[in-house]
Every structure is written in structure tokens, then in C-alpha cells.
Amino acid sequence: MEKRVLGRNGLEVSALGLGCMGMTGVYGQPVDKADMIKLIHDAYERGITHFDTAEAYGPFANEALVGEALQPIRGEVTIGTKFGFDIDQQTGQRRGGTNSRPEHIEAVADAALKRLRTDRIDLFYQHRVDQNVPIEDVAGAVKDLIAAGKVRHFGLSEAGIQTIRRAHAVQPVAAVQSEYSLFWRGPETELLPTLEELGIGFVPFSPLGAGFLTGKITKDTTFEEGDFRNAVPRFSPEARAANLALVEIIKGMADRKAATAAQVALAWLLARKPWIVPIPGTTKLNRLDENIGGARLLLSPADIAEIDAEASKIEIKGERLPEAVLKMTGH
């Protein structure tokens, strides 16, 4: 698989990463651990070398899974994980909202290193901006961890433009992670131009619109208990019925390319910028193979222009996240 570089300090990763969050829940019940370890190994054998996790996924269960799976091939892969929520590092108990105090960041890093069975974190993101801690202090804390050899690169997730600039001035940011897909194009207005200016990579999560852009979800789809999409306005039956018009555009291009809707959606993202590295998540080998096919699919400038022109005629219905979560992201 093609390699891409995040940031100006040379973090080289596979063009497509693997989002591991769903392997321990979020989209329903956790999947068998042994099956997920095998899936991670299958991803590596197919050329994926970048794996995304976080302390908050579980909490802790996802990092432990990823650490166990990648330990035999640790030198061949990169791992991104995250800090920033107020989670007790001993018990895993969530104590409330955000916590990016420098001493907490250090404690999270030390605990994550143990769970990940490694001596360094390749990409350490602030998961959500902490309004009670100046971003300069956060960047300074990660800078200290980099100096100590515990962390290689600094990242931010769901951060605003000015926050990114202020953090980058203290410690160069290698990557910013936010939602981006044909289903949510908010980053195009300000975020992408800022990242290009500063030389920061972009790691879109939900590059398939939490499954919507695969074409497998209809207005009649029922999500199982515990699936976060049950609480997302964009996934209400009414919104889905309206938003399926976007999927039909993608399917039309897919039919002409002898590809799937998911592959077109990923190829579209990869074609936007050479420093974009999507991290689609899956728990199924056939979906993994399908996604990797998207990294091989080449869309011409004319194809991209056609998709953009048709998609611009559609008004997407529903917010991308529940209101309480949107308030936390700040946008």
C-alpha cells in the first residue's frame, strides 16, 4: 500500500489506517477478542501499518487489545492513541468531562505505554480540547513526553483553528483528527486550508459516514442496542430517507468504476490531499478487503468534479453528532 507522511517531522504511515474503536463496542456489543487480533494481523499483512485507538475506548479495553495484537510486529507499525478525558488510570472509572492537566497527560501516557506493550507512542492526540487548560500547557506537556522518548508525535482531535495554531507554535502538530467524508464536509471551509498552510496531516475518522456511505444502511435499518448511531440525529429514519440521495450518487460512480460505494467514498477522500489518511473501522475481514480496495481505486479529476457537483445539490439532513457531544467539540 502507498505510504503517506503526516506532519513535517516525517511520520510515515500507510495511506489507509485502521480505526480500532468498534472492536470493543460503540457500534453494539464487543466482538470476540481473538477474532479482532486476527483481523489486525490481516490488516497488517494487507499493507495497513497505522492503527488508531484511545484510552477512552472501553475505557482501556481497546488499547489493551491493540497492544496485544501489535506486540509481535511493533517495529513495523505505528500506533495513534489519545488522552484528554477524566478517567481514573487505576480503575478505568470515568469521573466526568475533559482533563488535560499536564500531570494527568503524563499519567495517561505511562499507563497507555503499558497497555500498548510498547516503549513509545507514535502519535499522541488530545482527544478533546479542555477549556480549563491552556492549549500551550497541553502542547508543552506533550513536548516533554517527546523529549523523554515516550511519544514521537503530537496530534489534536476535533480542535478549532486557533487552538491548532496556538498548539503548533509550542510543539509542531503532526496530525489533526476530525470527521470528514462526503457525508460531512465541514473541514473544507477552514480546517483543510489551515492544515495545508502549517504542514499538518489530516486523519479523518468516520470516512464512510459511520457506515452510511457504504450503501448498506436504509431508512428501515434497525441498529442494535448500544449502537451510538441510535442517538445521532443524522441517523434518524427521516434523515436517512432524505440523505440516501447522496448514496445514490456514489453508487452511480461505483457502478461505472466496477467498485463499491465504500471504495468510491474512500478514493474520493484520498484524492483530496496527499496528506490525508482515513481510518475506517471494521470488525469484518470482507469489509477490510473492500476498504483496502478503495485505496487502490483511482478517481480522475473529472470523476471528483462530477461527484462534487452532484453532491452539492443535496442538503444533508440532521446533525452529525448528538447536541451534547457537539458542544464538547466546539463545532
Catalytically annotated residues: 57
DSSP character string of 206-263? STTTTTGGGT---TT--PPTTBGGGG-GGGSHHHHHHHHHHHHHHHHHHHHHT--HHH
What the block records as the C-alpha cell of 213 is 456511505
Task: Please state whether the peptide bond connecting residue 59 to the residue before it is cis, i.e. omega within 30 degrees of 0.
Answer: yes
Buried b (16+ CB within 10 A) or exposed e, 272-295: beebbbbbbbbbeeebbebbbebb
Is there a contact between 224 and 28 (Cβ–Cβ < 8 Å)? yes
What the block records as the C-alpha cell of 189 is 471551509
Q: Regarding beta strands 3-6 and 11-14, do their DSSP bridges make them parallel or antiparallel, or are they unpaired?
A: antiparallel
Residues 6 or more apart in contact with residue 303 via CB below 8 angstroms = 253, 257
Strand partners, 321: none
> Is the CA virtual torsion 140, 146, 147, 148 positive or negative?
positive
Residue 283 sits at the vertex; the CA angle it makes with 281 and 288, to the nearest 5 degrees, is 65
Q: Is 127 helix (H, G, I), strand (E, B) or coil?
A: coil
Q: Is 272 helix (H, G, I), strand (E, B) or coil?
A: helix
d(CA 39, CA 193): 35
d(CA 156, CA 136): 12
Is there a contact between 80 and 53 (Cβ–Cβ < 8 Å)? yes
